[in-house]
C-alpha cells in the first residue's frame, strides 16, 4: 500500500513505522491516524514481524501533537467521535500482541506523547521534549493521556504535567519513568534495534502472553492478575516453544522457536 503521511518498511523481523510530515513537525491529522491504523493492522497480521519501531521523520519532532487547524473545527459531537477514533488506534498499538518501541527523536507533545505512552516501551534522544499541553488550547488530553500518564508516572506528577501543560526534557522524563532510556540522537534507532533483537530471540507466544499479563493485569486487582498470570503460564506450557525452550536449556544449546 502507498501511504501519504507515514513510511512503513520491514527488515530482519522488525517493522519500521515513521510519521512523515516533517513540515508540520509530524503533527497528527485524522488521515495520518487512519494510515497508522492500517500500518499496525498489517504488522499485527504479518507473522514474520516480531517487533515494531515507531518514530518521526526529521530531526525536530517525534510527533509534535494534533493538527490544530483540523482540531479547531470540532464541536461536542464530532470532538467525541474524533477522540474515540484516535483512542482506537492507540489501543491497537498497545494491544498489538507484538512489542512496539517508540523512538522519541524530538518533540512528543499532546497526541505525540500519548502515542508514545501506548507503545510497549519508550526510548528518547537527548533533545526530546515531552508534554501534554492541551489545557493551553482549552481542551484536555483526548488520546488516553489522562489515563496512561498517571499509570506510568503516578497521579501527582501526571496532574502537574496535565494541568500546567509544561514540557519536560528527556532526562526529566527518564527520572519520572515516562521513558525507559535516553540516548544520543545517532544511537536512538540502533539502541531500539538492539532491544528488538533480544526480544526476537525469545519465544513469540511467551512474549505475547507476557505482554497480555502485564497490560491486562494493570487493570485488575492483584488476585485477578495472578489468576490471569497462572492461566497464561498454563497456555505457555502447552506450546511447542515451551518444549523446545526447556529442552534446549537442558541440552545446553540455543533454542529454535517457531511461535507454536
Question: Which of the following is catalytic: 35, 48, 59, 134?
Answer: 134
The catalytic residue among 35, 114, 244, 251 is 114
251 in active site: no
User: Three-state SS string across the chain, please?
Assistant: CCCCCEEEEEECCEEEEEECCHHHCCCECHHHHHHHHHHHHHHHHCCCCCEEEEEECCCCEEECCECHHHHCCCCHHHHHHHHHHHHHHHHHHHCCCCCEEEEECCEEECHHHHHHHHCCEEEEECCCEEECCHHHHCCCCCCCHHHHHHHHHCHHHHHHHHHHCCCEEHHHHHHCCCCCEEECHHHHHHHHHHHHHHHHCCCHHHHHHHHHHHHHHCCCCHHHHHHHHHHHHHHHHCCHHHHHHHHHHHCCCCCCCCCC
Catalytic residue check, 134: yes
Active site residues: 114, 134
Amino acid at each position: 500500500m502507498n501511504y501519504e503521511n507515514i513510511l512503513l518498511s520491514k527488515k530482519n523481523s522488525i517493522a519500521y513505522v515513521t510519521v512523515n510530515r516533517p513540515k508540520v513537525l509530524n503533527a497528527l491529522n485524522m488521515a495520518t491516524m487512519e494510515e497508522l491504523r492500517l500500518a499496525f493492522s498489517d504488522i499485527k497480521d504479518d507473522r514474520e514481524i516480531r517487533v515494531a519501531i515507531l518514530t518521526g521523520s526529521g530531526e525536530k519532532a517525534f510527533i509534535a501533537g494534533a493538527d490544530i487547524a483540523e482540531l479547531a473545527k470540532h464541536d461536542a459531537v464530532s470532538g467525541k467521535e474524533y477522540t474515540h477514533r484516535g483512542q482506537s488506534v492507540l489501543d491497537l498499538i498497545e494491544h498489538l500482541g507484538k512489542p512496539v518501541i517508540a523512538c522519541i527523536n524530538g518533540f512528543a507533545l499532546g497526541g505525540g506523547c500519548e502515542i508514545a505512552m501506548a507503545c510497549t516501551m519508550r526510548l528518547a534522544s537527548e533533545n526530546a521534549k515531552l508534554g501534554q499541553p492541551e489545557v493551553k488550547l482549552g481542551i484536555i488530553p483526548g488520546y488516553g493521556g489522562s489515563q496512561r500518564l498517571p499509570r506510568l508516572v503516578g497521579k501527582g506528577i501526571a496532574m502537574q504535567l496535565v494541568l500546567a501543560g509544561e514540557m519536560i526534557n528527556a532526562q526529566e522524563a527518564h527520572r519520572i519513568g515516562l521513558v525507559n532510556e535516553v540516548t544520543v540522537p545517532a544511537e536512538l534507532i540502533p539502541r531500539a534495534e538492539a532491544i528488538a533483537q533480544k526480544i526476537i530471540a525469545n519465544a513469540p507466544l511467551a512474549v505475547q502472553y507476557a505482554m497480555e499479563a502485564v497490560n491486562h493485569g494493570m487493570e485488575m486487582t492483584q488476585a485477578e492478575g495472578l489468576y490471569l498470570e497462572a492461566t497464561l503460564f498454563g497456555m505457555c506450557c502447552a506450546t511447542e516453544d515451551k518444549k523446545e525452550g526447556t529442552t534446549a536449556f537442558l541440552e545446553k544449546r540455543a533454542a529454535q522457536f517457531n511461535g507454536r
